[in-house]
Structure 1
């Protein structure tokens, strides 16, 4: 357990350190955040043609209300936490990479719902927006990370059991 915790903290520190580098921000994080805004606007236009995106901003064409997707709200940090947990857990790299890929998609889907809901909450009530933004969605995204990690660990355990059974142990 101590080994896992130390590896987790080390990997997390490295991932966050790399993520904060200006070249990484410019090449990956900022384009990802802009893509998230465009994806959110795309999904929202299925039922609301009043939404546009530019850069990392979602905006209502009629009211001018907008939200800016900032660092910490783009799902990158949550994905890094999941990656650190998966990397630190003892298992093969094939299942680690699969877990990271599936987990990152799950986090980003939840984050897309987060961005869309916050856009509409902000138009309805800034108090509701602030509560959901600062508390509710922060907890839900971290819960998503935890659930994905626990499901992945369960898959790792099942795979190990199947391998042991195949070997007749």
Structure 2
């Protein structure tokens, strides 16, 4: 447990520092955030065809509301916490890679729901927007990362026992 905790903390530190470097910011974070804004604008466009995105911004067609997806709002921090936990846990690499991929998708799908809902809350009621943005959704995104990690933890032994069963069955056959 101590080994996991130390590796987890070191990975958190390394990944959070890396996230703040200009090359990672320019070549990873900014393009990812723009892609996230485009995906959210595409969904919002189903309900408001005049919605448009540009870089990290999503703007309502009438120009009265603009969302800017900033650090902490793009889900990267929750993904970093999840990735550090998965990488620190002693499991086979193929299970870690599966967990990283599924975790990234799970956190970002919820983050898209978050951004789209906040966009509409901002259009309809700014006070509710602020409350949901600052309190509810921040906690839910981190909780999502924790739940994904816990689900992954439950699946790792099951996947490992299936493999050992398959190996035993293969060894027993002529």
Query: Is the 2:48–2:61 Cα contact (8 Å) retained in structure 1?
Result: no
Partner of 1:158: 158
TM-score normalised to the size of structure 1?
0.94
The TM-score normalised by the length of structure 2 is: 0.92
Provide the C-alpha distance between the structure 2 equivalents of 1:14 and 1:63, rounded to a whole number of angstroms. 40
Q: Distance in 2 between matches of 1:123 and 1:42?
A: 17
Structure 2 residue matching 1:58: 3-state secondary structure: strand
Partners of 1:2 and 1:128 in 2: CA distance: 42
The 5-angstrom pairing of residues 1-169 of structure 1 reads 1-166=1-166
Aligned residues: 168
Structure with the greater alpha carbon radius of gyration: 2
What is the deviation of 1:80?
A: 0.7
1:164, CA displacement in angstroms?
4.5
Distance 1:164 1:101 in 2: 24
Q: In the TM superposition, what is the alpha-carbon distance from 1:64 to its structure 2 partner? A: 2.6
Root-mean-square deviation (CA), in Å? 1.3
Q: CA deviation at 1:50?
A: 2.5
5+ residue gaps, structure 1? none
State the SS of the aligned residue for 2:64.
coil
Q: Deviations over 1:23-52 (max 9, x none)?
A: 100001011111111111111112221311
Structure 2 gap ranges (5+): 169-174
